[in-house]
Amino acid sequence: MLVFWWWKRRSAGRLAAKALAVLVAAAPAAAQTGPETPPASSSSSSDAEIVAHFVTTAIPTVNFITTASRLAITKSHNSKTQNFAEALAKNQTPLANSLSAWVNVNGPVVTLRSPFTGQVGPGAPKLRAPNLLPSQVTNLRRLSALQGKDFDSLYVSTLMEALVQLQLLYRDFVQNGSDPGLRAIATREGPKVEQTIAALDKL
């Protein structure tokens, strides 16, 4: 049993390191999206802009939560934190896949407002989502350099920030978004995020 536990933890650490390397290597895509912006207002934004804001914020944030949690499985020395992180990474992976699949199918259709013509349609940039936002790249690099209690402290604080961001994002889209697929995701995931925040607060 001890050998199996060690092998499982070692494998999780290698997986986390590979995931971090892939996401950080793709960081230039995040830089192209510009600064991190607050939720889009329904009174001043089109449906396409609301959808774009949701997707381009949710996907990198879910990726950050998943990758940071995989790092926690090996870098934390606290069994409660490890178990929490393992369950969270497992739960967020299918969500990331669902959001990415939505973009693959709908991204070519949804367009942002053209900065040149002010119109939505031909010539407007197609919807894409970054793997990580710039601040998330920085936080993952900081996490990857830490161990034990130092890691736990930064993990909890950065994870709480990401979860609260998702909570507000889901709530805003349920109220203002029109896409049925994304509304279903936001409606389903909102309560889960609230439960995760409560559990994280107890660590």
Q: In this predicted model, what pLDDT tens digit does every residue of 8-43 receive, in sequence order?
A: 555 545 545 454 554 544 443 433 333 344 444 444
pLDDT for 115 equals 62
pLDDT for 45 equals 66
Beta pairing partners, 82: none
pLDDT exceeds cutoff 80 at 46: yes
Three-class DSSP category at 54: helix
pLDDT for 110 equals 83
Q: 32 — phi, psi (to 5°)?
A: -75, -15
Q: What is the pLDDT of residues 100-141, one digit of tens each?
A: 999 999 988 887 766 666 666 666 678 889 999 999 999 999
pLDDT for 114 equals 64
pLDDT for 97 equals 94
Whose tokens are 């069994």? That residue is 79
- Total Cβ atoms within 10 A of residue 20: 20
pLDDT for 95 equals 96
Domains detected in the chain: 2-30+47-201 (1.20.1260.10)
Three-class DSSP category at 57: helix
Mean pLDDT for the stretch of residues 40-58: 78
pLDDT for 117 equals 67
How does DSSP classify residue 146?
A: -
How does DSSP classify residue 120?
A: S
What DSSP element (H or E) covers 21?
helix 2-25
Q: Are 127 and 106 in contact (CB under 8 A)?
A: yes
pLDDT exceeds cutoff 90 at 191: yes
Q: What is the pLDDT of residues 133-170, one digit of tens each?
A: 999 999 999 999 999 999 999 999 999 999 999 999 99
Q: Are 37 and 50 in contact (CB under 8 A)?
A: no
Exposed, middle or buried: residue 123 (CB in 10 Å: 0-12, 13-18, 19+)?
exposed
